[in-house]
């Protein structure tokens, strides 16, 4: 792997350090070796002159369902969440494997062009692992698990363990995690087994949590549209008893909340103290939240004030108009009026990386050289404002693990 010297006009390290100006980076073997604030320092290897660019760590898409990309524009927006689930299942079952794969790769390019260098994705079938392996991102791939019937636990766990044994020792750009889909779609017995597997194979756990009102109703008394959906699909377990707990408390009662990567948390305001105490990592999906017209959504300001790690994700094209991450951060700014641009960029980089323990998201010595750059169009008083400019659709420079993509 080549050595590079990158000159920059400004650099946002996303550590606790202030922005740097008129300096250069030395990169060797995919890692950042030196950060200098002096153009006159010796050049090592190839010179990449970005002296008219702002550079920062590559964006981390901390929650995505890239395999649903073929559903773009096919799912009605003005429906209930349970009807949305029905529509996604129906449309996805009719979609050919070839179309799903083509859309996956096309939308991966959209993400890369918009500055995404690391991807945290829910994959519904293990055969997708091969497709994801050819994508340039640094990746954490969560095996998405659904199973509400207790009779399904044994075969599901056996198949998962086969996949984990085959893939868990993979090093470098990819790692595997486990994702029990949601409290309403996974049985208590399966939750317990997934926790056991995660501990055994030392892999992260993620779950959609407190996403919509029907979820809370189902956990409280076992009634509502979700029960109807489970019965409709012949997967309702009549022996299951509603825990009469909030989603976060329910997961905690099963030992699942510790260090969980929790997605959405739209209705978890009452549990933020518990989330903090259990070191939960949160992921906010702005465009998807807006798409569903949520009246309440993740209390990001409160979580940040408590020191909870928060990342940003795009979710899927079944519930979002775009996987362009620059659009995502702009929507996040519109929704989170009490969160600064510096904090939003921290969520989009370091925060996303920290949700799953990726070695990226900041620019500092020894870290992976996942770097993006934006050509500057004038003078700036605030470097953090550059990626939010409305006419920026793409990054102008992208490097992943020391390899220049463009």
Asked if 372 contacts 361 with a C-beta cutoff of 8 angstroms, the reply is no
- N residues, the chain: 406
Rounded to a whole number, what is the distance in angstroms from the first to the last CA of the chain?
Answer: 16
Average pLDDT over residues 171-180: 87
Average pLDDT of the segment spanning 92-121: 97
Please give the Cα distance from 400 to 117 (Å, whole number). Answer: 6
The pairing of beta strand 138-145 with beta strand 59-64: unpaired
Write out the H or E segment, with its range, that includes residue 129. helix 128-133
Residues 331/289, Cβ–Cβ less than 8 Å: no
Given a contact cutoff of 8 angstroms between Cβ atoms, the answer to whether 175 and 140 are in contact is yes
Report the distance separating Cα 232 and Cα 139, nearest Å.
35
Q: Residue-wise over 378-397: b if at least 16 C-beta within 10 A, else e?
A: eeeeebbebbbeeebebbbb
Which helix (H) or strand (E) segment holds residue 198: the answer is: helix 188-201
**pLDDT (tens digit per residue) in 183-207:** 999 999 999 999 999 999 999 999 9
Residue whose C-alpha is closest to residue 247's, from 192, 183, 178: 183
pTM of the model: 0.96
Residue 312 near residue 64 (C-beta atoms within 8 A): no
Cα gap 112→89, rounded to integer Å: 28
Q: In terms of DSSP H, where are the helices of 202-292?
A: 213-221, 225-232, 247-253, 272-277, 286-291
**pLDDT digit string (tens) for 248-287?**
999 999 999 999 999 999 999 999 999 999 999 999 999 9
pLDDT above 80 (res 347): yes
Measured CA to CA, the distance from residue 227 to residue 243 in angstroms comes to 14
- List, for residues 241-250, the tens digit of each pLDDT value: 999 999 999 9
How many Cβ atoms are within 10 Å of 312's Cβ, its own excluded? Answer: 29
């Amino acid at each position: 792997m080549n050595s590079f010297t990158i000159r920059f006009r400004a650099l946002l390290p996303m550590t606790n350090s202030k922005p740097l100006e008129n300096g250069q980076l030395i990169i060797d073997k995919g890692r950042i070796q030196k950060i200098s604030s002096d153009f006159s320092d010796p050049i090592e290897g190839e010179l990449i002159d970005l002296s008219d660019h702002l550079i920062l760590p590559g964006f981390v898409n901390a929650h995505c369902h890239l395999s649903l990309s073929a559903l773009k524009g096919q799912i009605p927006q003005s429906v209930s969440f349970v009807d949305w689930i029905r529509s996604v299942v129906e449309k996805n079952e009719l979609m050919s494997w070839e179309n799903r794969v083509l859309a996956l790769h096309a939308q991966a390019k959209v993400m890369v062009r918009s500055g995404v260098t690391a991807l945290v994705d829910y994959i519904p079938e293990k055969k997708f692992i091969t497709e994801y392996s050819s994508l340039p991102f640094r990746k954490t791939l969560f095996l998405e698990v659904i199973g509400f019937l207790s009779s399904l636990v044994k075969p599901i766990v056996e198949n998962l363990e086969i996949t984990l044994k085959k893939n868990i020792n993979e090093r470098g750009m990819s790692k595997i995690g486990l994702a029990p889909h949601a409290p309403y779609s996974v049985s208590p017995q399966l939750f317990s087994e997934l926790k056991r597997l995660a501990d055994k194979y030392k892999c992260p756990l993620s779950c959609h949590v407190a996403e919509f009102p029907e979820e809370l109703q189902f956990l409280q008394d076992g009634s509502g549209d979700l029960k109807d959906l489970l019965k409709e699909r012949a997967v309702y377990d009549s022996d299951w008893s509603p825990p009469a707990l909030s989603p976060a408390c329910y997961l905690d009662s099963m030992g699942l909340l510790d260090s969980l990567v929790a997605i959405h948390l739209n209705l978890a305001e009452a549990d933020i103290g518990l989330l903090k105490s259990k070191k939960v990592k949160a992921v906010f999906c702005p465009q998807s939240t807006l798409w569903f017209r949520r009246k309440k959504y993740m209390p990001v300001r409160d979580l940040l004030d408590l020191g909870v790690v928060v990342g940003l994700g795009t979710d899927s094209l079944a519930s979002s108009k775009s996987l362009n991450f620059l659009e995502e951060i702009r929507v996040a700014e519109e929704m989170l009026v009490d969160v600064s641009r510096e904090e939003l960029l921290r969520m989009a980089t370091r925060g996303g990386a920290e949700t799953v323990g990726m070695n990226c998201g900041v620019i500092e010595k020894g870290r992976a050289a996942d770097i993006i750059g934006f050509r500057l169009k004038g003078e700036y008083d605030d470097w953090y404002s550059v990626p939010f400019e409305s006419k920026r659709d793409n990054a102008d420079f992208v490097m992943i693990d020391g390899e220049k993509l463009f």
